[in-house]
Amino acid sequence: MRREGARGYELLQSLCDDVGPRFPCTAGDVAAIAWAKEALSRAGLSNVRSEAAPATLWERGHESCTVYLPRAQPLSLTSLGGSVATPDAGLSADIVAFDSLDALDAAPVAEVEGRIVYLHHVMPKLRDGTGYNAGSVARTAGPSRAARKGAVGFLVRSIGTETVRSPHTGALFYEPGVAQIPAAALAIPDGDQLRRQLARGHRVRAELKLGCRPLPVGTSANVLAELPGTSEEIVLLGAHLDSWELGTGALDDGAGCVIAIEAARLLGALGLKPKRTIRVGLFANEELGIGGGLAYAATRNDEAKLHAAAIEADQGDGRPWSLRVPLGQRESELSKRLHSALEGLEIGLDEGQSRGGVDISPLKQLGVPFVDLRQDATRYFDFHHTANDVIDNVSREDLVHATVAFAVTVWILANADERYSAP
């Protein structure tokens, strides 16, 4: 497979420049669905179609925060997806800081009640991106954990890895029966300064104004297409089409979309018919509820057993460096064949088991086995969920490398005599 034949970067330029941000049920989302259908058709794939998927809707609105140190300083922040608004006049309260959710949980109510909680969670920059696991919990669970103690607002240090004044958004999830409080992420330098002031014993008061609001559930769509095989079995290659609206979703997950489309196009260009059908799935509403992945799984009860494997691209342009397979099947002939084919791309066989991505995760309950290509996430969380998630921060060379790796993996999965079993 010739790398110079890949043209994903130009395809990604089209998605970012012509369509732009793709928040569910916005004009950008509608345009993205049309763009995806055309791109899949141009790639030579068959049975291009869209399937309705519910979408959690939300509007960002105005957002600002001024802190008094005691001097007044505006902070760079952005609302967390799904947050409720402050009162129209804003919210004025003292800030109390904690370095972890455990510390927040251990604090007496009197320390938190009536205050804005600032959670100073520092995410490490790691090749495997696993620092995001704890970081996302801090963001998603933090507001309700603070509200349990009587907090009136919640701020979190951006769940990211680049020290620039570009805050990272992302979803929160309110606990049923717990008060819903407004929540936002601070740019990393702003959060660090705030923590220093509080650590020195200074009283810090904030005036927070968020105009965001949840909206009724709407309908978006997954976009699917296939490179037909000679059997009914399916290998699913997924990514998510939606994005946050701060940037243009180049890395999250425009890159994954073009990796999937281009991998399928390159395989089709071989002129060979695979044994199993290769299905590309571009999923809706991953960022705020996994609506597309859940809708796909909900309509696959009869077809689930035909899915020989599912794999997902959702870590930007990162070069894959590690292959993971289902539990207990690392020594199988299929794993050895995959490892042998990927070694030339500097991809090793991981000791850990495959977990699947967010969009394909609902298929686990249907017994679909996952294969993971772990992408290098060293740079990914510098831009993820920020206004800097733009094509200027995508590496053409890395995008091509990743596309080839996914194409090789999917081709072997589609043509192997054997298949993985679900763990």
Structure tokens at 385: 């969920």
Distance of CA 18 to the CA centre of its chain: 22
Contact 368, 307 (CB under 8 A): yes
- Return the closest-CA partner of residue 50 out of 65, 64, 40, 60: 40
Distance of CA 421 to the CA centre of its chain: 26
Q: What are the residues facing 320 on neighbouring strands?
A: 375
CB contact set of 374 (below 8 Å; sequence gap of 6+): 128, 315, 320, 321, 322, 323, 324, 350
The dihedrals phi and psi of 69, each to the nearest 5 degrees, come to: -110, 0
- For residue 103, what is the enclosing H or E element? helix 101-106
**By three-state DSSP, how is residue 189 classified?**
helix
- For residue 308, what is the enclosing H or E element? strand 307-312
Planar angle of CA 335, 231, 51, nearest 5 degrees = 95
Torsion, Cα of 40, 43, 45, 48 (10° steps)? 20
Residue 402: how many other CB atoms lie within 10 Å:
30
Q: Whose structure tokens read 């109390």?
A: 96
Q: How many residues would you count in the chain?
A: 423
Q: What are the residues facing 91 on neighbouring strands?
A: 208
Structure tokens at 102: 């455990």
Q: Whose structure tokens read 């005691």?
A: 70
Planar angle of CA 173, 177, 180, nearest 5 degrees = 50
Look up residue 215 and give its DSSP letter. E
Does residue 286 carry a catalytic annotation?
yes
Q: Which of 233, 245, 262, 286 is catalytic?
A: 286
Residue 303: how many other CB atoms lie within 10 Å:
12
d(CA 29, CA 19): 8
- The catalytic site residues sit at 286
